[in-house]
Amino acid sequence: MSKPPLKVFLCAPRGFCAGVVRAIDVVEAALKRFGPPVYVRHEIVHNRYVVEGLKAKGAVFIEELDEAPDGDAPVVFSAHGVPKSVPAAARLRNLVAIDATCPLVTKVHREAEIHHKRGRLVLLIGHAGHPEVVGTMGQLADGAVLLVETEADVERLVIPDGAELAYATQTTLSVDDTAGVVAALKSRFPAIHGPHKEDICYATTNRQDAVKRVAPDCDALIVVGAENSSNSQRLREVAERAGCPTARLVARAADIDWSLFSDIRTLGVTAGASAPEVLVEEIIDAFAERYEVSVETVSTADENVFFPLPRELRPQPA
């Protein structure tokens, strides 16, 4: 029997961003420099395939520093960033701390510190409990940063009289959701200070723009990514809001619920910033077993961003 036709709209950009590439390269360079084991605090990026691949090379993933042995063991901090207390604790234990925080997250940390030095109370737009939010709030003393998740939170804020305010955002948020929260903040606090340059990173914005382009033309859309990946979850939400009837986050081809994709003729495919291209290919191959697939790449931006390794891991001149 002949297979039914399926037009696949492949979003570009998709998948790895410069911060993720750098973080993975940091772990691999540390393994080369120090040899295994190299300890990594938290998943280096939110993707099980990537984590398992690094484990096979000798990386040991831990959630807290006390899981690493005392002494000069190398410990890598994940791309999401960490509170200041973490590198401080590493120094006390003489661990070799290597920071793989995405430079665009570090930018948010520095902005928060500058606002604090200028006497401003910082309002951070983000998702409670996400490691990036924990890390950003941990750059300052308790109470110096207040978390805001929704427009409703803005109305509930209790601000000390006379307080000067500033806001920052998690880098992986929905562009549209965040715009609503920012508008609410500016409406209630007209004098609030914002970032000099948008905190939501270029990769998050570009991937959401590509999904907005293809989603209205798709019967279904798959985001390749992990459940705990904030930017991947936002892509799924963006697809739904843009009019795609079925949008699902899928880690691997084996996780596809085929009952949701039985009668489709058009499929959008994208990948979160921590999902490798091999998993995108795996998903498309799985559909090709059931459909006569034709693929059209829909590109909305070119990305050529590169972040160098931390200084201590860069090749030494001969």
Positions marked catalytic: 132
Count CB-CB contacts under 10 A for residue 196: 9
Q: How far is CA 264 from the centre of its chain?
A: 30
What is the C-alpha to C-alpha distance for residues 74 and 95, in angstroms, rounded to an integer?
6
What is the C-alpha to C-alpha distance for residues 159 and 111, in angstroms, rounded to an integer?
20
Nearby residues of 180 by Cβ (< 8 Å), 6 or more positions away = 151
Closest by Cα among 200, 144, 192 to 170: 200
Backbone angles phi, psi at 93, to 5 degrees: -100, 5
